[in-house]
Amino acid sequence: MGPALRITWRLSEVSTGRVVSTEKLDGRIEEIFQIQDRLAASTAERLDRAFPAVQAAPSEGRSLDAYECYARASHLFHQLGKGAFEQARELFEQAISLDAAHAPALAGLSAIHAMRFTFTTDPAELEAASDYARRAIVADPTLGEPHIWLGYALWRQERVEEAFREEQEAMRLSPGNAFGPYFAGCCRLSSGRAEEAIPFYQRAIEVESQQGWSWIGLGFSHLEAGRHAEGRWSLERPSPWRRKSRRVRRPGRADTSANASVAWGTWRAPAPDPWKDSRQ
């Protein structure tokens, strides 16, 4: 069939399994993003919902090869390993070489450089993260992810209030991404404002309950606020993270268990670093 593409979709009523509507959409592989928009509009029409006209972001639809590189890089990035980071960086850069205004790939490079700082401590990595994030924001002002990593870079540069504002914008643009409220909580906790940090960590957990570092941030915040029972409960929450490792790492100190950190209720906890294991 070459570059021809056919998508067959079916809309069903969940409670009864009744098929409400079916449709076939034909096009070419390079039109995949336009077909996606047609499918969304058709579904909204069947549901009798208004579907607002959406102007495609500048990076969308211009290069399917760039999108493929981005998708592969994104998968590698979320493996959180240093080797995977390098592979992801190469693929993100390849996507940018194919489409210089591919905003998600630019945001991905921002994330890569931000995380490289955690195991290099090279300030140039934070500058690169900020640069890629700002380029992504220019390319697509509706994208929330670059604000997350710009905020992270600013936080590491101790420009905490600027960082917090970027995380607030990330939450507005991408309410389904847990990293926005997580890093907003980090900004508040690292500034000694534990009470203000708590609702942000709680929001991050609402979005992604299995993100172990949000539970750690919430636990430390409760400890700083003098709520030792709540802090211990948060730090002892069962999660895949706790099954993998029941130890809480803290910058500049030997590893200690979560229970020991609860006993040190007066210790001023630094904001948890979710990427520290990627240094190893």
| More reliable by pLDDT, 270 or 43 | 43
Q: d(Cα 231, Cα 226) in Å, to the nearest integer?
A: 9
SS3 7: strand
pLDDT in tens, 206-238: 999 888 889 999 999 999 999 999 999 999 884
Q: CATH 1.25.40.10: which residues of the chain? A: 64-177
Q: Around 61, how many Cα atoms within 13 Å sit in the side-chain half-sphere?
A: 12
Burial code (b: 16+ CB inside 10 Å, e: under 16) for 115-140 equals bbbbbeeeeebbebbbbbbebbbebb
Please, which residues have CB within 8 angstroms of residue 200's CB and are 6 or more apart in sequence? 181, 182, 184, 185, 188
8 A C-beta contact, residue 44 and residue 50: yes
pLDDT in tens, 142-182: 999 999 999 999 999 999 999 999 999 999 999 999 999 99
| More reliable by pLDDT, 277 or 232 | 232
Instruction: Provide the pLDDT confidence category of residue 62 given band limits of 50, 70 and 90.
Output: low
pLDDT in tens, 236-271: 884 544 544 444 443 333 333 333 332 223 333 445
In the CATH scheme, what is the homologous superfamily, with its name and number, of domain 64-177?
A: Tetratricopeptide repeat domain (1.25.40.10)
Place of tokens 């499918």: 39
